[in-house]
Structure 1
């Protein structure tokens, strides 16, 4: 006769939800390809940043600022802009287009379409946005309303820089943690661009915004029909960008809207959703190298150059409450926000870390999330203006906070490197010779 089970026994026998569990093999391959491109982009970003800083602090510094402020374009719909503005408004639209494609793909066809998987990185992203904003505000409460305009500067994570640091560390972090970092960065970048659209608009022209809906609708119609002809899509995308830029909303919002319009899955008449990559993946494959290798480094080159002015200038920058707030928010706020939100999700959902992982791994990634750069520089310019002393101090603080976060993350993650090197060796084992590592099981 079977032994009856008590309710407590039944609860103990239920499977425990795991966070940071292993992704599917196709998702693992896709994320690995993205990481390789972003790591190269991070190296180019670092080179562009160092070049800008050296030039801006050299005897030829005037030529750097003259180049940045050189105005080009046409005197129509506010398209006569300095090169620095073209980089911020135009090139970063490409970056956010790719971010829009990536986020939509993750939630429509990626592993994060599962709400239980999506909850952790999304919650971590919101925690990593909210707490830095709060800490910056607390530090600058007595500094006045102008300083408080920079509350959103430390809210974003620069995925290219973060992944470049991972490459330098040579850590063998599990793919699930890398996917977590990638998704967290994309989500909080999009939160940041929403903040830009809502809290940092220029003079709004609703008629231009209404006109932008026409080419956006045409673009959406064509991509939903799976039409890939660049000579049709590119003019419509440019029209959307021009009209949104003229409307007073920051033009990078156009990139996100266009990215969200692109379908992820293949149409059934072309073989069904499982018959190969959809249009979003096709466009991402072609445009991500342009974004990571050209658009973002050029933006960094025109935005990161700041005349520090030697030791006295550096001291002046880092004693400004704006700079202090940014450093505290990036180093402490990001780490505590990301780690705390992740921990809170596990406790409220009764989930546990996947086998083999430890909370110290999450702490290392949370520290790495403090590398705010691309979007932070953009928000700094929108908050204070290009020629403001606060903007120059904010740039120094963004660089300092990102560097401190990277060094702290390197200390933590290097300590775990030896353990995960052994895990990585197991992941490459393919005893049955089917071309898929045994750890993934059968696809």
Structure 2
């Protein structure tokens, strides 16, 4: 996707994945330090502070508002960008789109199998956490990729985006089916009405065109529709970030006569700075404050061990292996600008489970504080190890591309022959 300029320096800076990544990681570091400091109780009080209308069942903790509400904005940006790639970009070719999709499925299955094998014979609740190492934290993964991969091929970011969205959709389905008391299918059916209206307004013809020409600001019409979509998805029991993905994928990417810019790119200009500069840092601040239980749990507890191996080894083997098998057994192929070492580094980066993994940890061991603490420590340590290994590989690849793309050195005339 070509970058979209807004003409505002601050907005342009906040649109950058690198800037957003630094803000995200900085907020996560503050959360970790705060949670493990003498003021840790104050941190817990802040993120568990409840606010919102109880009559809509939206009296939620600030942590939940950040993970379900603010993160939905980021997922809208992700869905919108994927729509542009599927319509006008690299993913137009089904042979290229197939590889990250299959890799995502394999990257979910292999870590779950590894965790299950390690914990199957332990008895009790241990095996309940098989879903913990499945998820990739797309926000953190993209942030790290942006920081260490300035010279990496853009196709690698698209590969990661596609993989992470599919990964998250699978994780959301797993949560809905295996880790919740049930799904409110009435709310799921009801959300089709505002989603259909949202899709209709994207056509830019008829009533939608009249709206665009009127003096009424678009947000006056869109805001109630967006609120209805998010509220109904939240009420359904499905993770509310799926509302953001759905709306992003419904955005129109082509211009109608008389339009200076299509709605997809207008949304990109207006919303990305808010997503990268506000939504993601607040989300990290509210979600990343894990009380660290030390390295000992990795070697003494099978739950922590299963999570660490699942995130560090399972993600790498599942994603890289699934992508390689797809290119060998089907017509799927990598983008021409990518090499397999790039995929290996990106696959390791996908081992950053963090947010969704922490959520599944809470759902897996609601009545076992000890297992929950070990699970959270496993997520933290596994994600950290995956990050370090990925940064090593991707930094090496980044230098490779930097050298390859550097302009040739001009001779001085004094070289020896």
Deviations 1:89-148 (A, max 9, x none): 222222322232233332222220111221222222222222112212222212446333
Structure 2 residue 398 is matched with structure 1 residue 421: no
Structure 2 residue 117 is matched with structure 1 residue 133: no
The one of 273, 276, 300 aligned to 1:292: 276
CA contact (8 A) 1:201 1:250 kept: no
Could you say which residue in structure 1 is the equivalent of 2:253?
264
Q: Secondary structure at the match of 2:59?
A: strand
Could you say which residue in structure 1 is the equivalent of 2:239?
250
Q: Which runs of 5+ in 1 are unaligned?
A: 1-26, 428-443
Deviations 1:288-311 (A, max 9, x none): 3322332232222222212235x4
Could you say which residue in structure 1 is the equivalent of 2:9?
none
Moved more, 385-394 or 56-65: 385-394
Distance 1:171 1:58 in 2: 35
CA contact (8 A) 1:132 1:329 kept: yes
Shift of 1:356: 8.0
- Equivalenced residue count is 391
Could you say which residue in structure 2 is the equivalent of 1:101?
80
Could you say which residue in structure 2 is the equivalent of 1:280?
264
Moved more, 246-255 or 58-67: 246-255
CA contact (8 A) 1:89 1:250 kept: yes
Could you say which residue in structure 2 is the equivalent of 1:236?
225
Could you say which residue in structure 1 is the equivalent of 2:303?
322
Distance 2:16 2:309 in 1: 30
Could you say which residue in structure 1 is the equivalent of 2:51?
72
CA contact (8 A) 2:47 2:61 kept: yes
TM-score normalised to structure 2 length = 0.82
Shift of 1:270: 4.4
Structure 2 residue 22 is matched with structure 1 residue 43: yes
Moved more, 227-236 or 186-195: 186-195
Could you say which residue in structure 2 is the equivalent of 1:331?
312
Moved more, 416-425 or 347-356: 347-356
Could you say which residue in structure 2 is the equivalent of 1:342?
323
CA contact (8 A) 1:224 1:262 kept: no
Could you say which residue in structure 2 is the equivalent of 1:184?
163
Structure 2 residue 292 is matched with structure 1 residue 303: no
Moved more, 171-180 or 78-87: 171-180
Alignment of 1:58-207 (within 5 A): 58-144=37-123, 146-169=125-148, 172-207=151-186
Q: Secondary structure at the match of 2:352?
A: coil
CA contact (8 A) 2:96 2:333 kept: no
CA contact (8 A) 1:380 1:394 kept: yes
CA contact (8 A) 1:38 1:159 kept: no
RMSD: 3.1
Structure 1 pair 149–237 and aligned structure 2 pair: CA distance change class (3 A) = farther
Q: Secondary structure at the match of 2:353?
A: coil
CA contact (8 A) 1:84 1:303 kept: yes
Shift of 1:154: 2.1
Structure 1 pair 220–132 and aligned structure 2 pair: CA distance change class (3 A) = same
Structure 1 pair 237–170 and aligned structure 2 pair: CA distance change class (3 A) = closer
CA contact (8 A) 2:85 2:91 kept: yes
Distance 2:350 2:54 in 1: 40
Structure 1 pair 160–129 and aligned structure 2 pair: CA distance change class (3 A) = same
Shift of 1:76: 0.8
Structure 1 pair 404–77 and aligned structure 2 pair: CA distance change class (3 A) = same
Structure 2 residue 391 is matched with structure 1 residue 410: yes
Deviations 1:48-92 (A, max 9, x none): 211111111111111111112211112212111221222222222
Q: Which runs of 5+ in 2 are unaligned?
A: 5-11, 213-217, 409-417
Distance 1:266 1:339 in 2: 38
